[in-house]
Every structure is written in C-alpha cells, then in structure tokens.
C-alpha cells in the first residue's frame, strides 16, 4: 500500500503572534492549526508574517523567517549589517535587537534551560539572572561591537569570500563583517579572489601582532599565492589527513592572557573574544579561591590557560594535572607551562585518562568541556574525588543544565553562577558555575 508523499510547506506564509525566545537563536510561534514555528529575525510579542524555510505537513515543528513586521517590539532596531536578514548570512542571530535586549534574551534562554533540564531556578543556581557584557562591548543602539578575532570565510564557486547562510552550504558574499575584529578586517580577505579554495580562516591574536590564515583547498585544488594587506603566516588543511600544515611563517599565534604569553597552534582552541580569556580566568579563580598546596585538575585544558592560573596560585607545594584530547593543544600546553614543574599535561579523553591516573582525591577542579558537555559518567567520577570546589565553564546552556542535574544527583550544588556575553549579536552565551558539596553553601 503506497502512502501519499508528505507535502512540503517551504515557502508557505503565516501571520503569527511571536512567543518566547528559545535556545537556538529563534523565537517560538504557532500557526492557526497549532503547528510549532521556530522563527528567526523576530522578537517576543511581535506580530509578523513568516515564511517557512524548512518543514512539511505533520512535522513536529517548522523553521521560518519573519519577512514582514506588523507590530515591532520596542527592542527592535534596523540591522546594522546589510548582509543580515531572511535568506542572508547566518552568522548573527540578533542584529535586529538592541544590545541590552540581546543580553536579556540570552538570560531568558539560560533561565529556561536551567529550569527545564536541571530543575533549578536562578535563585537556586545562585545567579542574579543577568548576562554581563565584556569590558568595552557596550555600544549604542544600532551599533555592534567588532569582537571576533577568528573568522572562517566560505569561498563561493567564483572564488569570492563570504559567510554561510543559515543552515546552508550556500555562500553569502560580503565585503565586510561588522563583528570581525579590526585586526581581522585589515587583512582584506574579502577583497581578494580565492581560486580553488573552499574556506579561509583568518586569525588575529590578542596581545601580539601575529596574524594567520588557514586555507582549505577544494578537492584537488592548488594553493594561490597569498598576498594580504598585513603580514600573515599561512597554513593549509591537508586533503588526505585533515591535518593543518605550515606553508610559511609561524605554525602558531601568540596570545596574551593571565599575565602569560600562550602559544596556540593552528586549529588549537582559544576564545574568540579578545577579553574572554582574562574574564573567564578571573571568574574561575575568584570562585575557586585556590590555596597554597592545593591539588587541582584542569579538564579539557586546551593550551593550558586555567592550568597556568591554578599553578600560580597553588604554589610550589601544590600540583595541577591538565587533560586534553587534542594532540597539538597538548604540545602547546606543555610548551606554555614548561617553567612550572608542578604542572603535568596528559593527552587523551578525560573519561579515559582520569581513571588511569589513580587519583582519588583532589581539592579543586576546573572543567571547560566541548559543546556537548561532560556527561553523566564523567560528572559522577568527578564528584567522587571530593573536591572542595568545582568550576564549570560552559558555552552551551543546555549541556550545562544537563550536567548540573548530574552534579546535583551526585551531591554538588551551585554556589555562584555568572553569565557573560562573549559572543555579541549571536545567540551564544558563556557561563561559569562554581559548585560545592550540598550543605556547605554560604
């Protein structure tokens, strides 16, 4: 028996009342028939016409863009970027929202995720509900800060640089990205042709003049001669092994944070906001309050940022173990902290390496897991180490909330939480939660 094909609703338009913001850079609405809409380019409380971009009859939800605004929110502003809007660049979620309102939206998302996935109110999470701007990011209504020190440009079939459209491989050509840091923009990537190149990642270090581009050729493509407006080192992604190889210049950039210079190799993780590293170190150390002689863990340690800060505070009688799965980052971390005998960096996955160490007791833990979070098994292992305090650094509120629920089940509760707007004009938000054993809260 043949079933009728499901009818696509792409292109259909509905006039709707926009509901609350949701995790993912959109708001919730419903069609007259009750079908859920995930709407971009809208704001809570607005009446808009939406056009469906993904979905079909009977689907759990549809994705849509607001294409006509009938009743605008007081928080709406004209998008400063000409490449932002329905069907255009997908890099920014909130170009059409006043800066303060963007942070309120992010705060609402974090609160909703905590309540739904962890069963925590802001008060129980010891969070005042605010999302703090990074120093220097307060801009006037209708302006956006230029903060992004790492930008990956997509190259179209004609060799022109742009950025990907939302949930698409299609390239939106641009001549300037408003959120790119000045040191990235001054390279002039958008002004050049990039034949036989798929992507160009431009990196501008904070605290040094190091600039780097990482080129990914198209299959079988050859590298062009790279001549940009500022001196750069050039790397390429190898087609066969996916590794990043040096073409010319340094194979790393030098970042500056926490009173140290950090070598970050190509493909290595570093916060993209120029103020983020110092801000997060300060929040973590203020929350943990390390003591001389403490034994500490830095999990998912990257190039060693938190391990270095911990080592400075636990002193010569203390010890810090860092664990990181990226081999190049481990090499960088060992280089960056080679003057500190009390620091050891291990290569491998946290859930595999930590049990092998034989460590059964620590004083402090920092974990900065990838977007998916640490997971129940790892959380339960960490809770069994009896740490005085644990600092959890999270870039995804859903993963954070899930892990906080696991920590709660294992006896650890929030002592303090802070949220930071380290990705202005996008949906993303960074959180730092300090945990301690239930019953020890003050």
By annotation, the residues acting in catalysis are 395
The DSSP annotation for 327-341 comes to HHHHHHHHHHTTT-T
Task: Name the residue among 109, 43, 107, 104 with its Cα closest to residue 76.
Answer: 43
Report d(CA 264, CA 252) in Å as an integer.
Answer: 5
Query: Tokens 């190091």 map to which residue?
Result: 210
**Which tokens is 281 given?**
């170190």
CA-based nearest residue to 112, from 429, 438, 416: 429
Residue 311 forms beta bridges with which residues? none
- 344 has which bridge partners? 321
Pairwise CA distance, residues 379 & 344, whole Å: 22
Please calculate the CA angle 255-261-263 and round it to the nearest 5 degrees.
60
Around Cβ 353, how many Cβ atoms within 10 Å?
A: 16
Gyration radius (Cα) of the chain, Å: 23
Burial of 89 (0-12, 13-18, 19+ CB in 10 A): buried
Q: Which residues contact 252 (CB under 8 A, 6 or more apart)?
A: 210, 263, 264, 265, 266, 268, 332
What is the DSSP annotation of 161-211?
A: EEEEBTTSS-EEE-S--TTB-HHHHTT-GGGS--TTEEEEEEEE-SSS--E
Whether residue 210 contacts residue 197, with contact meaning beta carbons closer than 8 Å, is answered with no
């Amino acid at each position: 028996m043949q079933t009728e094909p499901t009818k696509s609703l792409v292109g259909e338009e509905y006039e709707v009342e926009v509901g609350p913001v949701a995790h993912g850079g959109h708001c919730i609405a419903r069609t007259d028939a009750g079908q859920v809409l995930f709407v971009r380019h809208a704001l809570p409380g607005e009446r808009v016409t939406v056009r469906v971009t993904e979905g079909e009859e009977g689907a759990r939800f549809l994705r849509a863009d607001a294409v006509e605004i009938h009743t605008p929110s007081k928080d709406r502003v004209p998008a400063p970027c000409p490449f932002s809007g329905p069907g255009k660049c997908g890099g920014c979620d909130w170009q059409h929202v006043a800066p303060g309102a963007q942070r309120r939206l992010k705060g609402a998302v974090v609160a909703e995720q905590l309540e739904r996935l962890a069963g925590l109110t802001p008060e129980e999470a010891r969070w005042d509900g605010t999302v703090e701007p990074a120093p220097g990011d307060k801009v006037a209504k209708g302006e956006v800060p230029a903060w992004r020190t790492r930008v990956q440009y997509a190259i179209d079939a004609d060799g022109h640089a742009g950025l990907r459209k939302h949930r698409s491989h299609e390239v939106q050509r641009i001549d300037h990205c408003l959120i790119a840091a000045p040191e990235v923009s001054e390279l002039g990537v958008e002004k050049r042709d990039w034949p036989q190149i798929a992507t160009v990642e431009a990196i501008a270090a904070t605290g040094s003049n190091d600039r780097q581009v990482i080129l990914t050729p198209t299959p079988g493509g050859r590298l062009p001669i790279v001549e940009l407006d500022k001196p750069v080192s050039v790397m390429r992604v190898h087609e066969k092994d996916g590794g990043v190889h040096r073409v010319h210049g340094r194979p790393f950039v030098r970042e500056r944070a926490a009173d140290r210079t950090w070598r970050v190799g190509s493909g290595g993780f570093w916060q993209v906001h120029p103020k983020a590293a110092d801000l997060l170190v300060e929040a973590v150390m203020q929350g943990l309050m390390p003591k001389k002689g403490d034994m500490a863990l830095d999990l998912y340690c990257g190039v060693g940022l938190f391990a270095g800060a911990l080592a400075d505070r636990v002193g010569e009688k203390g010890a810090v173990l860092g664990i990181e799965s990226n081999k190049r980052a481990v090499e960088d971390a060992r280089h960056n902290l080679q003057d500190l005998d009390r620091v050891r960096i291990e290569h491998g996955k946290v859930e595999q390496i930590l049990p092998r160490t034989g460590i059964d007791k620590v004083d402090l833990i920092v974990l900065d897991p990838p977007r998916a979070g640490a997971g129940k098994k790892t959380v339960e292992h960490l809770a069994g180490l009896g740490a005085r305090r644990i600092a959890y650094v999270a870039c995804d509120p859903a993963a954070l909330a899930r892990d906080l629920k696991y920590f709660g089940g294992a006896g650890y509760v929030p002592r303090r939480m802070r949220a930071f707007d380290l990705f202005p004009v996008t949906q993303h938000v960074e959180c730092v939660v300090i945990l301690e054993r239930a019953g020890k809260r003050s």
